[in-house]
Chains A and B, each alone.
Chain A
Amino acid sequence: MTTLTLSHLSAGYGNRIILRNMSLTVKAGEVIALVGPNGAGKSTLIRVVSGVVSARGGEARIDGLDLLRMNPAQRAKLIAVVPQLIHLPEAFTVSEIVLMGRTPHLPFWAAESKHDCEMAWAAMRRTQTESLADRRADELSGGEQQRVMIARALAQEPRALLLDEPTSHLDLKYQIGVLELARSLAQEHGLAVLMTMHDLNQAGVYADRVALMKGGEIVAQGTARNVFTAEQLSKVYGVRVAVSEHPAHGTPLIAPIANGHHS
């Protein structure tokens, strides 16, 4: 059973500490949403775990394997990242981009084999991007690009999937599509899914647990119902909020209260 475990993780750029003593566990089949104000360290956490930024202290392990001390290719077989700001090289086709997900499995001299094509194709079917296979990246809509990136991540055959704000820049329909895909990938493929989000209401609906971050630290973690209290959120975001209940799911529904608004 896959488990992604972060314990007492710290990181920073130069003299600036961005992550402080962070501990978090994501199990196979679980979706954890990482929420918090801009600059809380959510994206940095993903970059540390994926080896882009080096950690100052603490540990990140997946099934006991030390993620912070392994070579990039080994790490990329265990963890796949769907990045926040999508930049796809314009002239490459969708199948070329999804096949890039096979990179950690290929020795430097090798070309993609039939098996690699099969894995890429399976990933494209899973994300419903197979009809886009021959399309160029610059012909894709935002929602299509996001799904192609998820397909590329799946082609890595990872044990954990990290998504950095997967719903930003998407319209409501695509937001729901991507979040439901993340959920079903966790459940059906046994992936440990960790995603950063800004939309607290959606985090409440789609994540099994949420972790609320501020200033590089986890302020609270647990079920959305326990973490998303008006008091807690007001403290972390510095705005007044009202918390009610989602009419369909019963999860917390958060509405900010405007200053000096009279109705």
Chain B
Amino acid sequence: MARTTALQTSTAPDLLPDRWRIIGIFGACVASLFAAVVLAVAIGAVSVPPLAVIELTLSRLLSLPRPALYPETFDTILFEIRLPRVAITALIGAALAASGSTYQGLFRNPLADPYLVGVASGAGLGATLALGLNLHHTALGLNATPIGAFLGAVITVAVVVISAQVGRTTPVSTMLLAGVAIGSFTTAVTTFLMLLSPDGLRRAFTWLLGGYNGGGWQPFWIVLPYLIVGLIILQFNARALNVLQLDEEQARQLGINVERLKLTVVAAATLITAAAVAFGGLVGFVGLVVPHVLRMIAGPDYRRLIPLSAIGGAAFLVIADLVARTIIAPTELPVGVVTALAGAPFFILLLRRLKRSVF
């Protein structure tokens, strides 16, 4: 009798991952992002105490009376110089790491990064065209380069996807190859254009290396909607990305519309990457390394990996940008140089300590 009852009440154990562990990992990531932002805003030619950063920002956000303790110059430094820069840098880091983890899942390739299918070369061409044709002297003004980069990136990815179509499908291997071919072609055109215009060359080259290009709060407000919409779309497709790790045929047999999934995910990742690259240039390594580090910590489930990559990528790039502008101040390094210089050895170290595949 007791035996029967035991059998009947023996329900399934919780097969889902430990909720508290996941909350802990997300909490730690958010905390490091917060710490990175406060640190990056505090440090500079004039240092602002972290407490002042928090108090001044909170009082402004909540429309409270301003703490009189701190000099007025802090406000200018915080809200007009450092915070706008830190804010757009965080968005760029989030965009690159989120789309990097997405592409690693879509292509089932640990080497994939956000620039895989033509965003980088396309943005490079677009920006070079805008700089070479002096479009900033037109009505577009300073927005000429970001607009050029954004359009170049989106158009190039569209060309890659369209040329990779085989019948009604878009095989990822074909997409990869088309990405390489069209990428080389576009880069060649960019180089050619740069050589035609020696003046544009330096500016275009600097832009390509990545980093903050000024513009106050405007870049932040332009990139934010792309990032939010893109991340929501990616999040809703994350479970399907997990299933896709089995392979395309099995994903189809489990009810996934694989072709629609691929196109949706590429479109969303391209939009957020293009928006980020338009204002940040081609910052390397964030989109490759950050997702892998988080994979080691949080496992391979894309429903966690994509948002964690966004938060972690933001924190990582904010710190990298802080180093870029302070290490040999007053000269600034391009942030892409810092991410590669610091990221690569760190990543190799992690890989060597790793005993098994995390992919």
Contacts and interface: CB of A to CB of B under 8 A. Distances in A.
A52 B12 contact: no
A97 B12 CA distance: 16
Interface in A101-135: 101, 103-104, 106, 108-109, 111-112, 114, 117-118, 120-122, 133
B250 A83 contact: yes
Contacts of A74: 255
Interface in B228-275: 236-237, 239-240, 242-243, 245-247, 249-250, 252-257
B28 to A, nearest CB: 20
B225 interface: no
Consensus secondary structure, chain B interface? loop
Interface string A56-96: 00000000000000011111110111010001111110011
A77 B15 contact: no
A24 B273 CA distance: 51
B325 interface: no
Nearest to B13: A121
Contacts of B16: 111-112, 117
A136 B14 CA distance: 17
A138 B255 contact: no
B300 A92 contact: yes
B357 A103 contact: no
B256 A90 contact: no
B257 to A, nearest CB: 6
B75 interface: no
Contacts of A101: 254
B85 interface: no
B348 interface: no
Contacts of B357: 90-91, 138
B255 to A, nearest CB: 3
Contacts of A100: 242-243, 246, 254
Contacts of A92: 242, 245, 300-301
A225 interface: no
Contacts of A88: 246
B249 A47 contact: yes
Q: How large is the interface on B (under 10, 10 to 19, 20 to 34, 35 or more residues)?
A: 20 to 34
Contact of A91 (B237, B239, B240, B359): B359
Contacts of A121: 11-13, 15
A76 B257 CA distance: 11
| Residue among A89, A90, A120 with max Cβ neighbours from chain B (10 Å) | A89
A51 interface: yes
Nearest to B299: A91
A51 to B, nearest CB: 6
Contacts of A47: 249
Given A81-B250, A90-B357, A92-B300, A103 B239 contact: yes
Interface residues of A, number: 45
A98 B12 CA distance: 13
B13 A87 contact: no
A89 B358 contact: no
Nearest to A53: B249
| Residue among B13, B253, B301, B303 with max Cβ neighbours from chain A (10 Å) | B253
Nearest to B260: A72
B356 interface: yes
A87 B242 contact: no
Contacts of B237: 108
Contacts of B358: 91
A51 B12 CA distance: 32
B295 to A, nearest CB: 7
A95 B15 contact: yes
A99 interface: yes
A251 interface: no
B292 to A, nearest CB: 11
Interface in A155-183: 156
A50 B253 contact: yes
A111 B303 contact: yes
Contact of B247 (A71, A87, A120): A87
Contacts of B256: 72-73, 103
A52 B246 CA distance: 15
B174 to A, nearest CB: 16
Contact of B255 (A76, A87, A99, A117): A76
A103 B244 CA distance: 11
A50 B251 CA distance: 11
Q: Which 4 A-B pairs have the closest CB atoms?
A: A121-B12, A76-B255, A104-B255, A73-B255
Given A52-B252, A71-B257, A76-B254, 14 more contacts: A50-B252, A71-B255, A76-B253, A80-B253, A83-B253, A89-B108, A90-B359, A92-B301, A103-B239, A111-B239, A112-B16, A114-B12, A117-B14, A122-B12
9 contacts: A81-B250, A88-B246, A89-B300, A92-B301, A103-B240, A108-B239, A114-B12, A122-B12, A133-B15
